[in-house]
């Protein structure tokens, strides 16, 4: 089971689009936008006030634009939101996934994204058709790291979490999945230190190519 955003799909695309829209401010905007997006998912989950990922993503962008004092015509704002529906994959991802499939590994996605967002991004990235299961937390009405969100995987596969490998580049997601009971693989693209949350991934590497080597 793979996380999607930042693991399979390259969010650097968002930064590049933000820089085109706001020269010299793109990195700042995209970083704040991503932080608020995640913060809103956690706050809504804790409070029980769920709104889908498309709504959360738009709200986080609107906040970030206003917070940074950017003059944002409606078209720029809409173009940035549309970028989430047309994300590319990281360069090594298609070949690594195909290698895993050829080795008989069942592949799935468990993502905060809405079904429509995931379908569009998988089409745009060329990853459509590589997955046996594409699961959105919409079905649980809460976001990762809530246990109900992670439970979607065992429910779909009909097996305990300890028999499922959960793969993410987001260290907070790895911590939540490990607490839940998944075996976990951290794709540490940024070479970051581990979180201080009393848990560790079962294995890690820098790209999905490193993951594929585990299934020799």
Three-state DSSP at 135 gives strand
Provide the pLDDT for residue 71: 85
Provide the pLDDT for residue 213: 84
Percentages of the chain per state (helix, strand, coil), in multiples of 5? 50, 10, 35
Tell me the pLDDT tens digit for each residue of 15-63.
999 999 999 999 999 999 999 999 999 999 999 999 999 999 999 999 9
Domain match, 46 and 102 both: no
Residue 7 lies in a domain: no
With contact defined as beta carbons under 8 Å apart, do 203 and 214 qualify? Answer: yes
- 216 has pLDDT over 80: no
Domain match, 79 and 97 both: no
Beta-strand pair 165-168/183-187? parallel
Domain match, 121 and 203 both: yes
Query: Which domain CATH number covers 120?
Result: 3.40.50.1000
Residue 59 lies in a domain: yes
pTM of the model: 0.95
Domain count, the chain: 2
Query: pLDDT grade, residue 109 (50/70/90)?
Result: very high
Distance (Å, whole) CA 195 – CA 199:
8
Set 3, 10, 52, 173: catalytic member: 3
**Lookup: tokens for 107:** 């592949």
Domain match, 132 and 39 both: no
Domain enclosing residue 136, as ranges:
93-215
With contact defined as beta carbons under 8 Å apart, do 80 and 14 qualify? Answer: yes
- 72 has pLDDT over 80: no
Domain match, 171 and 197 both: yes
Residue 210 is a catalytic residue: no
- For the chain, give the mean pLDDT: 96
Q: Any residues with CB less than 8 A from the CB of 212 and at least 6 apart, and which?
A: 96, 99, 100
Residue 38 lies in a domain: yes
């Amino acid at each position: 089971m793979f996380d999607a955003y930042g693991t399979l799909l390259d969010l650097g695309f968002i930064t590049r689009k933000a820089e085109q829209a706001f020269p010299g401010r793109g990195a700042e905007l995209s970083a704040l936008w991503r932080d608020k997006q995640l913060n809103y998912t956690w706050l809504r989950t804790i409070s029980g006030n769920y709104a889908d990922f498309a709504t959360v993503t738009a709200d986080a962008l609107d906040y970030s634009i206003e917070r940074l004092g950017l003059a944002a015509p409606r078209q720029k704002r809409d173009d940035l939101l549309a970028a989430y529906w047309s994300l590319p994959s990281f360069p090594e991802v298609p070949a690594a996934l195909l290698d895993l499939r050829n080795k008989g590994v069942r592949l799935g996605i468990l993502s905060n994204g809405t079904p429509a967002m995931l379908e569009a991004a998988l089409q745009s990235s060329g990853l459509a058709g590589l997955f046996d299961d594409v699961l959105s937390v919409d079905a649980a009405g809460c976001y990762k790291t809530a246990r109900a969100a992670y439970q979607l995987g065992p429910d779909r596969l009909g097996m305990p979490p300890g028999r499922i490998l959960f793969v993410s580049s987001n260290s907070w997601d790895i911590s939540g999945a490990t607490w839940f009971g998944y075996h976990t693989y951290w794709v540490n693209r940024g070479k970051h230190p581990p979180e201080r949350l009393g848990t560790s991934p079962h294995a890690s590497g820098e790209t999905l190519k490193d993951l594929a080597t585990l299934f020799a």
